[in-house]
């Protein structure tokens, strides 16, 4: 089993970078090389195949596995993570169980089947929520949302309880705090944005709180693109802010709030990169740091996922199909153009929006609660679909690939898509949705011309 881990890591080097449009090619190649260097560093740092599997359960290694799985996919570590949890669950802390659950989900595991979800939610009680450290609440929310699991009143604490308690930790400047209310923490604030982003479209209170958090985060960015916590910039803080923006659907490479002196958060992150592929903790560090490297890895995974239209870093469900992706993109574009709630266009927009499963409305970035006047509970945000095997987002998949029966059943069957053969190919988030519409119109026009010509020809033949 130890050899499996080494083989998976070795296989990471053979995948060619995904082909994107011209504007994204250089950036994608740069990131792919950085990611591969991290994987190589990991292999060298841990000493080879005999030692790799011995590190499961260690904080930095678990997050390295998480980042690798969200970029390269794979299920090979699923059994080992599950075995570690089964053997140690009675002594694991809540943060340990949350971390392992997220890693297990990233490996394609279902945390409702092995007791992980029960262990986490069983540790949370309404009367004791205020005694929990806020990062425990944040990662509890990320865990239950990794597969959009339904809680269904089975536990003492609901999603709403967790969300409300997280919001209660926000202070006047917009940030969150850990222990001291007078000490805002950038890392925690970024993590909260990551966890709360799926609810921005459905809850005006969450939307307002996240906006204030983003305002605070913007003020932590330095002139070189790094992010500060407690007055000092670090790789980990920069990685957390980068992850938060990507999860919230904010392009960190183009949003002026998070670009200082022409430097983006990606630029800032790269200032910590070491010659051996690792990342340093901060400017005072003399070499690479395992924790910093792990967080740099998964923040880059979050960026790649945003740029190419995949589900966000902590949403471990099966990837969106082309039909689902195009529907969400078109609706997002239309929502951005609509500025009034009292027009036929808005009514049509609302109808389209209502047709999208609530658990996927988080990907309509421009459709805010106030715009579409929709209201649904956090529990309705869940669909109980669990998690499925990840994909290699650097690997070009074949056009011949077909959706499984389960994937097809998730797509509403209409006259527009009935009988269609869909290939879930990698997509660039920045592509113009109008191009798709134009191509469809051209195709329909061509088909209409063929039918018309054929009809005219048959009539002519009859006359002859």
The model's pLDDT over 400-459, given as tens digits with 9 standing for 90+, comes to 233 333 333 333 323 233 222 222 223 443 434 444 444 344 444 444 544 444 443 344
Q: Is residue 303 located within the same domain as residue 451?
A: no
Q: CB-side exposure of 375: number of CA atoms within 13 Å?
A: 4
Has residue 308 got a pLDDT over 90? no
pLDDT digits (tens, 9 = 90+) for 32-88: 999 999 999 988 888 655 566 788 999 999 999 999 999 998 787 899 999 999 999
pLDDT category at 339 given cuts 50, 70, 90 is: low
- Domain end (from 289, 307, 325): 307
pLDDT beyond 90 at 227: yes
In a domain, 140, yes or no: yes
Q: What's the CATH code of the domain at 196?
A: 1.50.10.10
- Is 135 domain-assigned? yes
- 398 by Cβ neighbours in 10 Å (0-12 / 13-18 / 19+) ranks as exposed
For residue 244, is it within any domain?
Answer: yes
Range of the domain at 463: 432-464
User: What band does 390 get if pLDDT is binned at 50, 70 and 90?
Assistant: confident
pLDDT at 159 over 90: yes
Average pLDDT, the chain: 79
Domain boundary among 253, 275, 307: 307
100 located within any domain: yes
**CA-to-CA separations, 246 to 33, 71, 199, 212, 321, in angstroms, rounded:** 20, 14, 15, 17, 20
Residue written as token pair 């400017």: 283
Residue at 81 is within a domain: yes
Domain boundary among 284, 307, 330: 307
442 and 299 belong to one structural domain: no
Q: Smallest Cα–Cα separation from 383: which of 318, 309, 328?
A: 318
Residues 6+ apart with CB under 8 A from 128: none
Task: Look at residue 357 and tell me if it is in a domain.
Answer: no
In a domain? residue 125: yes
Question: Which of residues 45 and 244 earns the better pLDDT score?
Answer: 244
Confidence category of residue 10, pLDDT binned at 50, 70, 90: very low
The domain tally of the chain equals 2
95 vs 4, higher pLDDT = 95
Integer Rg of the chain from CA: 23
């Amino acid at each position: 089993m130890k050899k499996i881990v080494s083989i998976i890591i070795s296989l990471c080097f053979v995948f060619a970078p995904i082909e994107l449009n011209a504007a994204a090619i250089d950036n994608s190649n740069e990131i792919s090389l950085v990611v591969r260097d991290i994987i190589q560093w990991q292999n060298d740092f841990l000493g080879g195949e005999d030692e790799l599997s011995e590190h499961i359960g260690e904080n930095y290694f678990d997050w390295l596995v998480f980042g690798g799985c969200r970029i390269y996919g794979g299920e090979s570590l699923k059994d080992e993570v599950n075995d570690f949890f089964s053997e140690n669950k009675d002594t694991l802390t809540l943060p340990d169980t949350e971390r392992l659950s997220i890693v297990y989900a990233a490996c394609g595991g279902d945390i409702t089947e092995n007791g992980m979800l029960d262990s986490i939610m069983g540790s949370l009680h309404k009367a004791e929520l205020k005694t929990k450290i806020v990062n425990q609440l944040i990662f509890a929310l990320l865990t239950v949302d990794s597969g959009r699991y339904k809680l269904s009143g089975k536990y003492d604490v609901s999603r709403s309880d967790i969300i409300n308690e997280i919001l209660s930790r926000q202070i006047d400047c917009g940030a969150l705090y850990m222990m001291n209310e007078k000490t805002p923490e950038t890392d925690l604030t970024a993590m909260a944005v990551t966890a709360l982003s799926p609810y921005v479209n459905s809850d005006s209170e969450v939307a307002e709180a996240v906006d204030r958090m983003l305002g605070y985060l913007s003020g932590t960015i330095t002139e070189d693109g790094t992010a500060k916590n407690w007055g000092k910039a670090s790789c980990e803080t920069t990685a957390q802010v980068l992850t938060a923006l990507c999860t919230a659907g904010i392009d960190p490479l183009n949003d002026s709030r998070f670009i200082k002196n022409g430097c983006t958060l990606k630029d800032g992150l790269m200032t910590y990169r070491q010659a051996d592929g690792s990342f340093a903790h901060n400017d005072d560090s003399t070499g690479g740091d395992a924790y910093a490297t792990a967080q740099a890895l998964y923040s880059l995974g979050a960026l790649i996922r945003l740029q190419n239209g995949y589900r966000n870093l902590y949403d471990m469900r099966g990837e969106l199909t082309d039909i689902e992706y195009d529907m969400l993109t078109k609706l997002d574009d239309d929502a951005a153009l609509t500025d009034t709630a009292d027009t036929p266009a808005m009514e049509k927009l609302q109808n389209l929006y209502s047709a999208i499963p609530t658990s996927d409305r988080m990907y309509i970035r421009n459709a805010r609660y106030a715009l579409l006047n929709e209201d649904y509970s956090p529990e309705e945000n869940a669909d109980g679909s669990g998690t499925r095997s990840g994909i290699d987002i650097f690997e070009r998949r074949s056009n011949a690939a077909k959706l499984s029966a389960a994937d097809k059943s998730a797509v509403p069957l209409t006259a527009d898509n009935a009988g269609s053969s869909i290939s879930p190919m990698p997509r660039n988030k920045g592509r113009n949705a109008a191009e798709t519409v134009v191509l469809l119109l051209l195709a329909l026009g061509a088909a209409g011309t063929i039918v018309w010509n054929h009809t005219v020809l048959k009539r002519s033949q009859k006359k002859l």
